[in-house]
Structure 1
Amino acid sequence: MSFASRLAELGVTLPDAPAPAANYVPFVKSGTTLYVSGQISNDADGFVTGKLGADMEIDAGAAAAKLCAISLLAQVKAACDGDIDRLVQVVKLTAFVNSTADFTDQPKVVNGASDFLVEALGDAGRHARSAVSAASLPFGVAVEIEGIFEIK
């Protein structure tokens, strides 16, 4: 099954790739490696904000991380001239979780992105990753994730 078909089966429509918010590009291709800039938790209503360990629970943080993963795939699709099926492998995610100093469940939050990518992409969605705490993130968002992908 194609990735596009699987996303449709899951009821996921990739949004237009978000434009960068500052002086950087949304992605860089180097051969078959695609580096995607950090994608922040954002939905149709705007930024998904909150601080884990203060005013946001793990489940809400995981949902915010899933939104980041959807934005990452939107950038991959844009980088592949609209063809998400050119994606070969999610290689690595680096995730930043807006959290208090004593919050230690960043991996559980980032599972929202990881679980979605495996559900949507199968083995091609399995990846290496880092899940780190951040004292704050742009616009007060809950999660930001950048990614490295292999494309054809």
Structure 2
Amino acid sequence: MTGRIDARLAELGIELPQAAAPVAAYVPYTRSGNTLYISGQVTVWNGERKFVGKVGQDFTVEQGKDAARLCALNILAQAKAALGGDLDRVTRVLRLGGFVNSGPDFHDHPLVINGASELMRDVFGEAGQHARAAVGAPSLPGNVAVEVDAIIEVA
């Protein structure tokens, strides 16, 4: 039987990518008690890097939002893997940390990271409302436009 969150994803027309393997000396997630920590997820769709470049230079704010949304989809894919395929075990998205690859004159980091925040809200409803940081970075791994990490409460 399909879970409540899987049904919500289908209702929203959302397909999750494959959970990406780590590219350096870290693991994609760790769990301590009821807290799941998801490592920073970048703009990769099933192994293909997307949104390579800087927001405000190579991409508009709206395209940056799309990049942040892709990072959030990767967070959900990692959470699903960590929870044995059962996203219904997510009880609350506690915090997102968003990093925007941008130049020194770019100031709309919060608007970009809204792409990730809005996805969490759309998928989990009130349980998707979270604390957040949205900061600029002079570069990100692979020159991707956005990276987002997450702290999630789980049952």
Q: Displacement of 1:43 after TM fit?
A: 2.5
What's the secondary structure of 1:146's corresponding residue? Answer: strand
Paired with 1:35 and 1:142, the residues of 2 have a C-alpha distance of 22
Match of 1:125 in 2: 128
Runs of 4+ in structure 1 deviating by more than 3 angstroms, as ranges, are none
Q: Which residue of 2 aligns with 1:5?
A: 7
TM-score norm. by structure 2 comes to 0.94
Name the residue aligned to 1:15.
Answer: 17
Aligned residues: 152
Unaligned runs of 5+ in 1: none
* Pairing partner for 2:30 from 17, 28, 31: 28
Query: How far off is 1:53 after superposition?
Result: 1.9
Which residue of structure 1 aligns with residue 101 of structure 2? 98
Deviation of residue 34 (structure 1)? 0.4
Give the superposition deviation at 1:54: 1.3
Consecutive unaligned residues in structure 2, runs of 5 or more: none
TM-score, L = length of structure 1: 0.96
In the TM superposition, what whole-angstrom CA distance separates every residue of 1:90-110 from its partner, at most 9, and x where no partner exists? 000011000010100000000
Q: Could you list the per-position Cα deviations for residues 33-74 of structure 1 after superposition, in whole angstroms to 9, with x for gaps in the alignment?
A: 000000001225533212012111000000000000000011
Q: Percent identity?
A: 50
